[in-house]
Amino acid sequence: MKVLRAKSAGFCWGVERAIDIARDYANKGHHPVYTDGPLIHNRQMMEKLSAEGIREVGDYQSKADLDVAPAAAGQNPVMVVRAHGISPERRTYLKNLGMEFKDATCPDVGIIAGKIRLYARKGYSTIIFGDKNHPEAIGLMGYTEGRGHCITSKEEIDALPPMDRVCMVSQSTMFMHEFAELSAYARTKFQEVLVFDTICQATKDRQTDVVSLAQQGAQAIVVIGGHHSANTVKLAALARLQNLPTYHIETAREISEEEMKKYSVVGVTAGASTPEFLISEVCAKLEAL
């Protein structure tokens, strides 16, 4: 079987940076290294990090109070903020836990937060194109000074209150074509709308590469990543829009050899939280068919 691997498959630079930061603390003797929620949305990688002394506490949305015991003798704990970022209120809470604090928020997400804060202080309301239950969107809402709205559709824009001045941004991992459509629609609804394309380049590359796999002759597309990873689920949805059979799997064990033998050319991509070792295992198994 011929396997076409997307160039952008695997860790985005923001996720890789957060992992490197956490590992660096662990290697320098900080134990435990706490992360506020899962550092990445990949169970297999989290198991590896756990074995290295990196411990997930809290919940997916970074909302829950954390059960972190006072440092025992000889311990030097640190709290690491994951790539999704957090609200200013959450930052204050974490800094007051009595341990070292390290912000590993993806710089691309930090730029979005900065845009929101700048214009919120100028009196603008904020529209965020994103999933209101996703930790990135939850964190970004904290910078809106109480005038933020998270939307995913024209109907939700229609339901917004009257607003004179609007700053519109996107969660970093959303679909490019949807943001373009919704931001254009928002401009017809409000008097002044400043639109900032804040979908990160890694997401754009990943989405472009899925379309490219179809153009290169892939007869089916395999998307590797956590079944609950938002950006991986979106990749799988985009693959299906290419009218190709799409298989969203977490590991090579989920590949059905009988099913995949129907194809001679298969495209492979992976979410931003998918480690290289999982991608390599999948590609090797497919190439051996």
| pLDDT tens for each residue of 109-153 | 999 999 999 999 999 999 999 999 999 999 999 999 999 999 999
Instruction: Return the active site residues.
Output: 136
How long a stretch of residues is the chain? 289
A 10 A CB-CB count for 29 gives 10
Torsion angle of alpha carbons 250, 256, 262, 266, nearest 10°?
A: 20
CA nearest to 232, candidates 87, 40, 38: 40
Same fold, 2-10+204-287 and 108-195: yes
Q: Determine contact, residues 40/82, Cβ cutoff 8 Å.
A: yes
Task: Give the confidence band of 236 by pLDDT, cuts at 50, 70, 90.
Answer: very high
Task: Give the confidence band of 75 by pLDDT, cuts at 50, 70, 90.
Answer: confident
Express each pLDDT in 139-195 by its tens digit.
999 999 999 999 999 999 999 999 999 999 999 999 999 999 999 999 999 999 999
Q: Is the pLDDT of residue 69 over 80?
A: no
Q: Map residue 149 onto helix, strand or coil.
A: strand
Pick the CATH number of 108-195 from 3.30.365.10, 3.40.1010.20, 1.10.10.10, 1.10.110.30: 3.40.1010.20
Fold (topology level) of 2-10+204-287: Cobalt-precorrin-4 Transmethylase; domain 1 (3.40.1010)
Question: Taking the CA atoms of the chain, what radius of gyration do you get in angstroms?
Answer: 20
| Start-end of H helices in 80-200 | 88-95, 107-121, 135-141, 154-158, 176-189
Q: Is the pLDDT of residue 73 over 60?
A: no
Domain boundaries, the chain: 2-10+204-287, 14-106, 108-195
CA nearest to 101, candidates 86, 118, 116, 121: 86
Fold (topology level) of 14-106: Rossmann fold (3.40.50)
